[in-house]
Amino acid sequence: MVEFEAAEDLSLLSRAGADQSLLVAMPSEANDNFTSSLGNVSKIVKQSFFALVICAAADIFAGFSIAKMSYLLALYPGLIILIPSSINLRGNIFGSFGARLGTSFHTGEISPPLERSEALRQQVGGVAVQTLFMPLVLAFVVKGFGQVAGLETMSIYDLVLIAVVSSLLSGVVLLAFTLVMINQSFKKGWDPDNISVPLITAAGDVITIPLLFASAILVSMMSYPLARAMTLLFVMFSTAALVYSLGSGRLIMVRIVRQSLPVLVLSTALATVAGIFMGMTEEMLIAFSTVLLLIPVFNAEGGNLGGILSSRLTSAYHLGMIKMGRRPEGETRTNFSYTLLLSVLIFPTLGFLAYVVSKAFGMDALGFGEIIFICLVAGLFTTLLAIFVTYYFTYFFVKIGVDPDNVTIPMITSVMDVLGTASLILVTMAVITT
């Protein structure tokens, strides 16, 4: 069996910070006893479950917002396609940023005070380039996929402006949120690998939809010549930023941009498929409003569980605590068990929250038992898929010498957008027709 041990040249820095790493929650041979294992489970579950519940509440809010604002979608053709892709892109960019910061803190590459860290400045620069350039890609992908699927969409100028404006506004908020969260997690003794991806995703979900609709309203007030001129200006500025970042000679920023952009483009295309599916089945989703409410939640939670697992595996790999092979070994499989345990806890909780919200606001809801059963079965299936996808994506990128922190979370969340939606709808159809 081919294995890849953590090497000095693949580590984000030296292992000087390993002794003080908060990855003490990861099982190790030096701490392998029943009592410590229970402590590991308690620490991981408490931190991750808390973050996942917050994310679930945010995503239920997102699903509720989509359901209640669905009448506006007719005014802005193609916006429903843009919604899941925008949510996905925001989570991919800043979820990966949080994962990189967690690994960098663990390895000692970044340490307080943050304002003096050159490595942090370069990471922020990489995020800025992603935030500027990727909305352009998203707009063109949505336009192209919409035409192929036979769905009506806005002009490419309007799509570009909506995508870019909403990306810039949400990017400023999420950048500040991520930096504060990572800094506070270390001050309070939390492992950022357990909480960064879900909390960043939750923050992104809360602000993305309102800002997307606000951007659409703003752009609709512009004249056609102004919209075209501003689109061309954004295209030139974003392209210049991309070219500068790649030629700047700043190794961390260059690595982030070079490694992440191809994956972000692919993940954007995958997320747009979910948007196309939502556009083609819009009437059915509105008829089953509880399912519509749960779709953003399932997509996010599947990606979050994979993101937590990916962050932990990547940090442990960089610290030399695990090996990556074609078949997962002891400590890696233990982390799989933690992920399944979180799944058993979180998905029935999602069903309960969805049922309460549906009843409170008079939405069409299935029975309480049916919703809990659907969420548990579909959630476990989604989690198994997330574990499989997460491990082998991480293994593949380690094998080819790419830092998994830069690429795995975008791939995982995008794949889970499609798989999570499919799992939820298939199980729901099975329950309804039984």
DSSP string, 368-432: HHHHHHHHHHHHHHHHHHHHHHHHHHHHHHHHTT--HHHHHHHHHHHHHHHHHHHHHHHHHHHHH
Residue 115's pLDDT band, with cuts at 50, 70 and 90, is low
Phi, psi dihedral angles at 370 (to 5 degrees): -65, -45
Q: Which of 354, 359, 392, 401 is nearest to 373 (CA)?
A: 354
What is the mean predicted confidence (pLDDT) over 404-415?
74
User: Is the confidence at residue 309, as pLDDT, over 70?
Assistant: yes
| C-alpha span between 190 and 211 (Å, rounded) | 31
Q: Token pair of 252, please?
A: 């961390």
What is the mean predicted confidence (pLDDT) over 180-204?
73
Q: Map tokens 């909506």 to a residue.
A: 162
More confident residue, 21 or 398: 398
pLDDT at 406: 66
Which amino acid makes up residue 128? A
pLDDT at 9: 37
Residue 233's pLDDT band, with cuts at 50, 70 and 90, is very high
Contact 302, 91 (CB under 8 A): no
Contact 256, 100 (CB under 8 A): yes
Rg (CA), the chain: 21
What is the mean predicted confidence (pLDDT) over 340-348?
88
pLDDT at 169: 93
Residue 306's pLDDT band, with cuts at 50, 70 and 90, is confident
pLDDT at 90: 86
pLDDT at 47: 66
Residue 364's pLDDT band, with cuts at 50, 70 and 90, is low
Q: Burial of 258 by CB count in 10 Å (0-12 exposed, 13-18 middle, 19+ buried)?
A: middle
| C-alpha span between 323 and 326 (Å, rounded) | 10
Q: For residue 379, how many C-alpha atoms fall within 13 Å in the half-sphere facing its CB?
A: 28
Q: How far is CA 10 from the centre of its chain?
A: 24
Q: What sign has the CA pseudo-torsion 396, 322, 52, 196?
A: negative
Q: Token pair of 103, please?
A: 């690994």
| C-alpha span between 44 and 50 (Å, rounded) | 10
Q: Map tokens 């819009």 to a residue.
A: 282
Q: Which of 23, 134, 101 is nearest to 403 (CA)?
A: 101
More confident residue, 266 or 325: 266
Which SS3 state, helix, strand or coil, does residue 191 take?
coil
Which amino acid makes up residue 206? V
User: Is the confidence at residue 72, as pLDDT, over 70?
Assistant: yes
Average per-residue pLDDT in the chain? 79
pLDDT at 365: 64
Q: Token pair of 186, please?
A: 């270390």
Residue 163's pLDDT band, with cuts at 50, 70 and 90, is very high
Q: 70-84, 108-122, 142-156 — which is least confidently predicted?
A: 108-122
Report DSSP state, residue 20.
G
Residue 235's pLDDT band, with cuts at 50, 70 and 90, is very high
Helix (H) or strand (E) holding 325: strand 324-325
Residue 80's pLDDT band, with cuts at 50, 70 and 90, is confident
Q: 163-167, 193-197, 255-259 — which is least confidently predicted?
A: 193-197
Q: 144-148, 163-167, 351-355, 420-424 — which is least confidently predicted?
A: 420-424
The maximal CA–CA distance of the chain, rounded, in angstroms, is: 69
Residue 197's pLDDT band, with cuts at 50, 70 and 90, is low
| C-alpha span between 96 and 178 (Å, rounded) | 11
Phi, psi dihedral angles at 4 (to 5 degrees): -125, 105
What is the mean predicted confidence (pLDDT) over 396-411?
77
Q: 61-75, 159-173, 183-197, 270-284 — which is least confidently predicted?
A: 183-197
User: Is the confidence at residue 129, as pLDDT, over 90?
Assistant: yes
| C-alpha span between 21 and 105 (Å, rounded) | 8
Q: Map tokens 């350039």 to a residue.
A: 133
pLDDT at 188: 74
Q: Which of 282, 288, 306 is nearest to 379 (CA)?
A: 306
What is the mean predicted confidence (pLDDT) over 175-198?
75
Q: Is the model's pTM score more than 0.75? A: no
Q: Which of 211, 241, 226, 220 is nearest to 136 (CA)?
A: 241
Residue 168's pLDDT band, with cuts at 50, 70 and 90, is very high
pLDDT in tens, 254-278: 988 888 888 889 888 988 988 887 7
pLDDT at 13: 36
| C-alpha span between 53 and 335 (Å, rounded) | 19
Q: What is the DSSP string of 145-179?
A: HHHHHT-----HHHHHHHHHHHHHHHHHHHHHHHH
